[in-house]
Chain A
Amino acid sequence: MYDNLFFIIVPYAVTIMAIVVTAQRYFKKPFTYSSLSSQFLESGELFYGSVSWHIGILAVFYGHLIGLLFPRQVLWLNGVPARLYLLESSGLLFGLLSLAGLVNLIIRRHTSARIRAVTSKMDIVVLLLLLTQVALGVYVAIFYRWGSSWYATSLVPYLRSLFLLQPDLATLAPLPLAIKLHVMNAWLLIAVFPFSRLVHMLVVPIPYLWRPYQVVIWNWNRRKIRGVAARPKPRPVATALPLSDELKPTNRPVTTR
């Protein structure tokens, strides 16, 4: 009964909500998308907290993602004990790294008066959820070993069943409480995602790597206007006529050099 609620109803509800709200926020309130960095107010402690947290959690996150997308390959990889030990221990190491970073960030947020001034209630909720999640993850990694392998057989089928809209709790139900809590808390994190600063992970500036350095934006194409300015043009009716891309005011660079 509770399993159905926590592992089927809640996941669908929070996922749909997260997608809708995140998109709505992105398009309607783009101003609220920011890393909300507090480095300007406190930089020293942030280095240890933020860098280790982000490196640790990114490695762990992509580890989970790869395990989910390529379970067979991971199982094959783990077929040789040496490779299994390497994968497990590095997973644990990154988990501990992110945990250390997170604890550092929480202490910093608590002790620095300047940082407290820019801390919202949602920040505290997010930090506590993340702490729970990472702590449970590290606990599971230590006490229920070889997760990189059993993940493929216990959790991947469950997640895939959700994705295929044929929820099946058969492989999840017998799992120990700590693992179930880890999964449940993950859904909670997805629930708060669109309402928190976590959305900054969606706007990581990867396109910067190939963008031209200088960005020049013309609000309107003057060559075009002046070229046809010889005869007066009727004023287009508001919103009724879609403007061609060339003439639209744009947030994207029109010409760059």
Chain B
Amino acid sequence: MDVRLQISMVFHLDKCIGCHTCSVACKNVWTDRKGAEYMWWNNVETKPGTGYPTKWEDQEKYKGGWERKNGQPELKMGGRVLRVLNVFHNPYMPKLDDYYEPWTYKYEDLLNAPEGADQPTARPISMVTGQHIDIEAGPNWDDDLGGSPVYAANDPNFSALTEEQQAELFEIERLVFFYLPRICNHCLNAGCVAACPSGAIYKRGEDGIVLINQEVCRGWRMCVTACPYKKTFYNWSTGKSEKCILCFPRLETGQAPACFHSCVGRIRYLGGLLYDADKMLDAMNAQDYNLVEAQRDLILDPFDPEVREGALRNGIDDATLEAVRRSPVYKYVKEWKLALPLHPEFRTLPMLFYVPPLLPVMANTDAGTYDTANDELFAPIEKARLPMQYLAKLFSGGNVGEVSYALKKQYAVRLFKRLETVGDMDAATVKQALHEVGMTEGEAEAIYRLTSLPTMDERFVIPPSHREEAMQMLGDDFLLDRGEAGLGLRDRPARGA
């Protein structure tokens, strides 16, 4: 057993209102710079939709992630020799237009335009060339456009649905969408790390955060292709790749990352997970339908004395173990099995998990009659607007069982609380619903509390970084040490000649 710590995350999609506050918080802190204008380390997508960059989930186009070749995981973009040869031209590299051309407006024209018959306007200008552009795309161009024949219809995940199921999703009365906030998944088997020819991308041993050393990156761009989530970005100005750093300067001082902290719907949870690095190969080699289970198997029980021993052996101290025991992520992912990884079939072992959204039917059409009445208070999940196969394609490698279990459990919690607070439910029905997912009343109550009423300290249980020990060991000037940690360049990060 090789026990390691991973700072891990849960996004509760049922609570996401799609306000983009997370994206803006991140943008303001990290990517409001030349060459990074087009980057959204955190973005919120509407699903069904094409996302950012357009159709990023289509790995036949982008060649991201891993696939099994002769029983071994290998990058979908090809072997390592090919990667070195492709530094001259990477055939699968997404281009600026796959994201969008960043723009601003020529505001000074509003003030400086000569007097004339027309109202002056601020025309959009490209932040790359400085020339006028016609805006054709943006980072959330398909926002709220579920049911759109231009965007939603091109969602790569529809491959899991029959023609009929797809057609239903575009009936005006059944239009449906939900939000999918995305950041870097800080994967265990990160494609970007594996593909980096320079070895500039690495996983921090202490907490599993994946970072790009800006001083070692040479701009070979393989990470951009290799990340199936398209969460490594090429800075066209500095000639270096960049990615979400999980706000590690905040984490190290006990604060939640900016996108987590600012989340209006409080959908985000962060905490430590212990995992067994010896089992990783099994998890990345599992069959598609078994990927979620295999990944869950990697996660170790922090209450297990044997795990504690292994953790101590690896230098993980009791304070960290205590934090992992209180981790909301451990509860959602391992104990309750409510949170699932996004696209586990990319085989990177992503460590950001999603609680799939309940999308109950609010109305239906029957022979042309539009009926808002529903015979049941909460429609059972079989009648959910989004076909289960669609959610399974997103969150469980096609395994409908995993998604349906997570949804049924959430559904049972609702029934349970309805009975308790309003009392207009049939007790036997509630009991049956709890029984069906093997949930005790205590667990239902715990899920309810952590979902609806969590305090900030319950949502973010940040294991202590013990930077004070690192400082002690480095025995160096405190301010200088910040530079060694990965960010904090001592020179202005200017483009090389």
Stretch touching chain B among A5-13, A173-181, A221-229:
A221-229
Contact of B234 among A29, A40, A237 (CB under 8 A): A40
Provide the residues of chain B in CB contact with A40, threshold 8 Å.
93-96, 221, 224, 234, 236
Task: State A51–B130 Cα separation when bound (angstroms).
Answer: 29
Q: Does A120 touch B at the CB level, under 8 Å? A: yes
Q: Are B472 and A235 in contact (CB under 8 A)?
A: yes
A214-B189 in contact given A40-B221, A220-B473, A222-B206 (Cβ < 8 Å): yes
Closest to A208 in B: B197
Closest to A48 in B: B89
Q: Are B205 and A216 in contact (CB under 8 A)?
A: yes
Closest to A116 in B: B129
Q: Does A171 touch B at the CB level, under 8 Å? A: no
The smallest beta-carbon distance between A116 and chain B, in angstroms, is 7
Q: Are B89 and A39 in contact (CB under 8 A)?
A: yes
Task: State A223–B240 Cα separation when bound (angstroms).
Answer: 34
Number of interface residues of A (CB under 8 A): 71
Name the prevailing secondary structure of the B interface residues: loop
Q: Are A35 and B89 in contact (CB under 8 A)?
A: no
Q: Are B497 and A120 in contact (CB under 8 A)?
A: yes
The smallest beta-carbon distance between B428 and chain A, in angstroms, is 52
The smallest beta-carbon distance between A237 and chain B, in angstroms, is 7
Q: Does A247 touch B at the CB level, under 8 Å? A: yes
Q: Are A47 and B89 in contact (CB under 8 A)?
A: yes
Q: Does A65 touch B at the CB level, under 8 Å? A: no
Task: State A195–B193 Cα separation when bound (angstroms).
Answer: 30
Task: State A54–B81 Cα separation when bound (angstroms).
Answer: 16
Most buried by A among B220, B280, B312: B220
Provide the residues of chain B in CB contact with A38, threshold 8 Å.
236
A236-B201 in contact given A35-B218, A205-B220, A208-B83 (Cβ < 8 Å): no
Q: Are B87 and A35 in contact (CB under 8 A)?
A: yes
Q: Are A208 and B84 in contact (CB under 8 A)?
A: yes
Q: Are B218 and A200 in contact (CB under 8 A)?
A: yes
The smallest beta-carbon distance between A98 and chain B, in angstroms, is 12
Task: State A54–B316 Cα separation when bound (angstroms).
Answer: 48
Interface flags, A24-53, vs B, CB<8A=1, else 0? 000001111111111111110011001100
The smallest beta-carbon distance between B143 and chain A, in angstroms, is 25
Provide the residues of chain B in CB contact with A238, threshold 8 Å.
475-477
Name the prevailing secondary structure of the A interface residues: loop
Q: Are A29 and B193 in contact (CB under 8 A)?
A: no
Q: Are A118 and B205 in contact (CB under 8 A)?
A: no
Q: Does A79 touch B at the CB level, under 8 Å? A: no
Contact of A205 among B218, B280, B317 (CB under 8 A): B218
Task: State A201–B152 Cα separation when bound (angstroms).
Answer: 44
Task: State A221–B83 Cα separation when bound (angstroms).
Answer: 32
Provide the residues of chain A in CB contact with B466, threshold 8 Å.
222
Provide the residues of chain B in CB contact with A199, threshold 8 Å.
496
Contact of A117 among B83, B95, B130 (CB under 8 A): B130
Interface flags, B72-95, vs A, CB<8A=1, else 0? 000000001101100111110111
Number of interface residues of B (CB under 8 A): 74
Closest to A118 in B: B236
B residues 119-146 near A (Cβ < 8 Å) are: 128-131
Q: Are B218 and A29 in contact (CB under 8 A)?
A: no
Q: Are B475 and A41 in contact (CB under 8 A)?
A: no
The smallest beta-carbon distance between B97 and chain A, in angstroms, is 9
Q: Are B219 and A251 in contact (CB under 8 A)?
A: no
Task: State A51–B240 Cα separation when bound (angstroms).
Answer: 21
Contact of B470 among A31, A205, A220 (CB under 8 A): A220
Task: State A233–B474 Cα separation when bound (angstroms).
Answer: 13
Task: State A199–B496 Cα separation when bound (angstroms).
Answer: 10
Q: Are A32 and B473 in contact (CB under 8 A)?
A: no
Q: Are A209 and B205 in contact (CB under 8 A)?
A: no
Provide the residues of chain A in CB contact with B199, threshold 8 Å.
205, 207-208, 211, 215, 253
Contact of B216 among A50, A213, A241, A251 (CB under 8 A): A251
Contact of B203 among A43, A204, A215 (CB under 8 A): A215
Q: Are B496 and A36 in contact (CB under 8 A)?
A: yes
Q: Are B88 and A54 in contact (CB under 8 A)?
A: yes
Task: State A55–B86 Cα separation when bound (angstroms).
Answer: 12
Q: Does A114 touch B at the CB level, under 8 Å? A: yes
Q: Does B190 touch A at the CB level, under 8 Å? A: yes
Task: State A31–B492 Cα separation when bound (angstroms).
Answer: 9
Provide the residues of chain A in CB contact with B473, threshold 8 Å.
220-221, 225, 243, 247
The smallest beta-carbon distance between B277 and chain A, in angstroms, is 7
Q: Does A218 touch B at the CB level, under 8 Å? A: yes
A237-B475 in contact given A30-B215, A37-B239, A40-B234 (Cβ < 8 Å): yes
The smallest beta-carbon distance between A34 and chain B, in angstroms, is 4
Task: State A92–B204 Cα separation when bound (angstroms).
Answer: 50
Stretch touching chain A among B156-164, B173-181, B254-262, B483-491:
B483-491
Closest to A199 in B: B496
Interface flags, B281-310, vs A, CB<8A=1, else 0? 000000000000000000000000000000
Provide the residues of chain A in CB contact with B240, threshold 8 Å.
31, 34
Q: Does A165 touch B at the CB level, under 8 Å? A: no
Provide the residues of chain A in CB contact with B196, threshold 8 Å.
208, 215
B residues 437-467 near A (Cβ < 8 Å) are: 466
Q: Are A34 and B218 in contact (CB under 8 A)?
A: yes
Task: State A104–B236 Cα separation when bound (angstroms).
Answer: 21
Most buried by A among B215, B219, B277: B219
Contact of A208 among B198, B205, B236 (CB under 8 A): B198
Provide the residues of chain B in CB contact with A195, threshold 8 Å.
497
The smallest beta-carbon distance between B47 and chain A, in angstroms, is 26
The smallest beta-carbon distance between B465 and chain A, in angstroms, is 10
User: What are 25 A-B contacts with C-beta separation under 8 Å?
Assistant: A31-B215, A34-B218, A34-B239, A35-B239, A36-B219, A37-B219, A37-B221, A40-B94, A113-B131, A114-B129, A117-B130, A118-B237, A197-B497, A200-B218, A208-B196, A208-B197, A215-B196, A215-B203, A218-B205, A219-B205, A222-B466, A238-B475, A249-B474, A251-B213, A251-B215
Chain A interfacial positions (CB closer than 8 Å to B):
29-43, 46-47, 50-51, 54-55, 113-114, 116-118, 120, 122, 195-197, 199-200, 203-209, 211, 213-226, 229, 233, 235-239, 241, 243, 247, 249, 251, 253-255, 257
The 5 closest A-B pairs by CB, nearest first: A222-B315, A205-B197, A32-B496, A236-B475, A218-B205
